Amino acid sequence: MRIHVLQLIVGDKLISDSYNSVGLHLLSSGTVLDAGDILMLNRHNIDYVDILPRETEDPEQDERTQYQVTPEQSDCFHKAIDGIKQLFKCAGFGDKLVNNDVETAFNPLIQSFQGEKDVVSLLLSLNSQDDYTYQHSVQVGMLSYYMAKWMYKSDKEALLIGKAGYLHDIGKSKIDPSILEKPGKLTNDEYNEIKKHTIYGYEIIRDSLQDNTIALVALQHHERFDGSGYPMRRTKTEIHSYSTIIAVADVYSAMISNRVYQESRDLLFVLKELHRMSFGQLDPKITQIFIRNMIPNFIGKKVSLSDGRAGTIVMTNPSDFFRPLIKIKNEFVDLSQLNGVEITQIAM
């Protein structure tokens, strides 16, 4: 049975060896695939593999365990939020950041989640009642780290990129909270003041940590490939490569989060928006790496559809990532063949 990699599910068994485009042996015939194997095939840009025919195509017979973060992971997540909150307070008072304080708050978080493969479930499971800005900083740090690993960065470099993501919004500590938390539309003056957080962040990190790379990320994470971003209207190669990674994580986290002026959007909808932004605004290669690594984790998730029905994603569609095969009771619905029906919500 020949199948596209994006249609694989945990438990499928290979019946032939798998090699990448340069002949590197990835997996042997007889391997029973787990989530890590599927992601590895995906990252090596393997399109099709041969598997043993499945005994059943009924996903309800696939005994998936409910994803849960451990108490240790939850504790590290909340400590990272408390850590960034203290760093904001420190910067807001004009005090210098201390590198040891940053790493004490952020590094244990990454260590606790280092082996996790299902980032979608991770984001659905972790939540905090804290201010959006703090939770967003932690999410961007985590996502930036994962993206760096998906790009085969070393552990040391991935941790640095995650740290840059964690601190990317530190300049907001200098913005009047009444502007940051305003529920209505910002005036032009207020929006221009918000945009200054990139400059403030650059100055805070440069003067405190003497790290020009992390400072540049704070300055450039709102720059866009087509020059439509801010504050310097940089384009393509004028933007530091780390900034282009954090930009994708920043947009994704912002759109899946509830904010005072915007309700959260569904995870799959946001991936579609990132895909659209990759044609001009975001780095297309990095955006595709992010989407390609996130999509397989949607298999098995419960969804609500725009026509009122609910079901479970059982297979992704290699020709249209965002319109998968859904099982609704005893019926299979292929969204790629059903115009006008969209996924409106994804849950565990």
Asked if residue 114 and residue 39 are part of one domain, the reply reads no
Residue 285 has pLDDT above 80, yes or no: yes
Q: Is the pLDDT of residue 276 over 90?
A: yes
Structural domain tally of the chain? 3
CA distance 243 to 310: 38
Q: Is residue 64 part of a domain?
A: no
E strand or H helix at 236 = none
305 with 179, same domain: the answer is no
284 lies in the same domain as 335: no
Stated pTM of the model: 0.80
pLDDT (mean) for 39-59: 77
Residues 164, 118: one domain? yes
- Residue-wise pLDDT tens digits, 248-265: 999 999 988 766 556 667
Domain range for 233 is 71-295
Answer yes or no: do 87 and 11 share one domain. Answer: no
**Vertex 212 angle, CA 207 and 214, to 5°:** 100
CB 128 within 8 A of CB 78: yes
Specify whether 10 is located in the same domain as 117: no
Q: Angle at the Cα of 261 (from 252 to 293), degrees rounded to 5?
A: 10
Q: Is 312 in the same domain as 288? A: no
Does the residue 326 lie in any domain? yes
Q: Across 72-86, 114-128, 232-246, which has the greatest mean pLDDT?
A: 232-246
Placement of tokens 């290669």 in the chain:
285
Assess whether 276 and 308 both reside in one domain. Answer: no
**Statement to judge: residues 287 and 322 lie in one domain:** no
> How sure is the predictor about 155, in pLDDT bands with cuts at 50, 70 and 90?
very high
Q: In this structure, are residues 180 and 196 in contact, taking their beta carbons and an 8 Å threshold?
A: no
3-state secondary structure of 205: helix
Q: Are residues 282 and 311 in the same domain?
A: no
**Shared-domain flag, residues 271 and 177:** yes
Q: For residue 268, is it within any domain?
A: yes
